[in-house]
Amino acid sequence: MPARCPSPFMPFPPLNLSALPGALAALLLLGMACSLALQAADWRSRLEMPSAAPERPHQATAQPAIEPLLELFGTPLRKAPAYAPAHLDWQLQASFTQSDSRQSRALIRMAGQTRRVAEGDALDHGLHVRLIAPRHVELAGHGRVIQLALQPTRLDGVQP
């Protein structure tokens, strides 16, 4: 039987498509292996590379900011005043706390005058309001925390 001439529209025999998913999977696996090998070679070359020396000598580099670290560990930045802030004649008269601490307020009597304060407000002698609680207020400054508590009220004529 004479050999049949292939069709001009189909010069090659049809492909077997059942092996296509396996071939694509093998090609993908080969690409991933090449990528991993390149990454490993890059990492190894970076590990073997000597560290870059600083361009300037160590003394010429800027010193890190030490002040925030000193405040973190309670070391006073400024010399403490000659008087102790804990012995100031300040008295907590009232405390108004809210669930949102930014809305809490307190009344503190200082030097004969009553002042309404909120958390974060700066006070005299380098102190600021750190916390307003229902029965006390915490003031912070000079590396320490001072607590002003509500004084118990005495009612005249009431027997305990």
The string of pLDDT tens digits covering residues 15-63 is: 677 878 888 999 999 999 999 999 999 999 888 877 665 555 555 556 6
CA distance 108 to 130: 14
Predicted pLDDT of residue 42: 92
Predicted pLDDT of residue 59: 53
The string of pLDDT tens digits covering residues 77-90 is: 555 444 444 467 88
- R_g of the chain, CA atoms, integer Å: 39
pTM of structure = 0.43
Q: If you average pLDDT over every residue of the chain, what do you get?
A: 77
Predicted pLDDT of residue 57: 54
Strand-by-strand arrangement of the 90-96 sheet: 90-96, 105-110, 113-118
Predicted pLDDT of residue 24: 92
